Amino acid sequence: MAPNPVENQNQNQTQETLDSTNPLYVHPSENTGLSIIPATFDGTGYRSWRRGVLRALSEKNKIGFINGEIQKPDVDSSTFAQWERCDDMVTSWILNSLSKDLSDSLQYVNNAKELWEELEDRYDQENGAKLYPHQQEINDLEQGSMDITGYYTKIRKLWEELNTLDSSSQCTCLCNCGGKNKKHKAEQDRKLIQFLMGLNEVYTVARGSILMMTPLPTIA
């Protein structure tokens, strides 16, 4: 189908009047073929992939298209065509970051918000079957042939993955009694002990010295 010159002209005029801080603004380098994150989601590791997409969309000021904050304007609105253009672009960005099989199965969604909600419904399921292997891998992890930095990097990555899976561990309430800080300190102490338990025997003396400290230091 040949492009409509009148529609394109109106769209260009709308683009020219938009400030770069407006979510409807499209940078000249942005297009539907853009890949906003390096990782491709194939059905595993959804929470990590999700965080990457949210960061990328936030950086581009387009996160409102998936959370519903940027509402679709009326058809007769001067920004309607520009909104559709931006929404199609965000939809394409997300589809581009999916494996081919997943992307093909989601081609017929109506907009970016519907696509995001479909992915949330499919993959953002919190259950013991997902928590168990992460916790087991942490419990079984030992330093072995890794150096201290490699061991710390590995166990920290597992902690972060477990934290994203377990929303019950993420407190967002306002607390003035100090209980939140105490809970955070207890969690940090637990992680320190978990880290020390996996160290090689050559660190036995250092481990004992650390455990005698009051209060316990941070892992860093």
140-179 pLDDT tens trace: 999 999 999 999 999 998 888 888 776 555 555 556 667 7
Tokens 């959370």 belong to residue:
67
Is pLDDT above 80 for 192?
Answer: yes
Indicate the pLDDT class of residue 128, thresholds 50, 70 and 90: low
Indicate the pLDDT class of residue 45, thresholds 50, 70 and 90: confident
Distance between CA atoms of residues 166 and 187, nearest Å: 14
pTM over 0.75: no
pLDDT at residue 171, rounded to an integer: 55
Is residue 206 within a helix (H) or strand (E), and if so which, with residue range?
A: helix 204-211
Distance between CA atoms of residues 217 and 195, nearest Å: 12
pLDDT at residue 5, rounded to an integer: 53
Is pLDDT above 70 for 14?
Answer: no
pLDDT at residue 161, rounded to an integer: 80
pLDDT at residue 210, rounded to an integer: 94
Contact between 86 and 23 (Cβ < 8 Å) = yes
Q: In the predicted model, what is the mean pLDDT of the chain?
A: 85
CB neighbour burial string for 12-21, b if at least 16 within 10 angstroms, e if fewer: eebbeeeeee
Is pLDDT above 70 for 129?
Answer: no
pLDDT at residue 166, rounded to an integer: 67
106, with CB counted inside 10 A (0-12, 13-18, 19+), is middle
Is pLDDT above 50 for 6?
Answer: no
49-78 pLDDT tens trace: 998 999 999 999 999 999 999 999 999 999
Is pLDDT above 80 for 17?
Answer: no
76-126 pLDDT tens trace: 999 999 999 999 999 999 999 999 999 999 999 999 999 999 998 888 766
DSSP states of 66-104 as a string? HHS-SPPPPTTSTTHHHHHHHHHHHHHHHHHTB-HHHHH
Q: Do you know the residue count of the chain?
A: 220
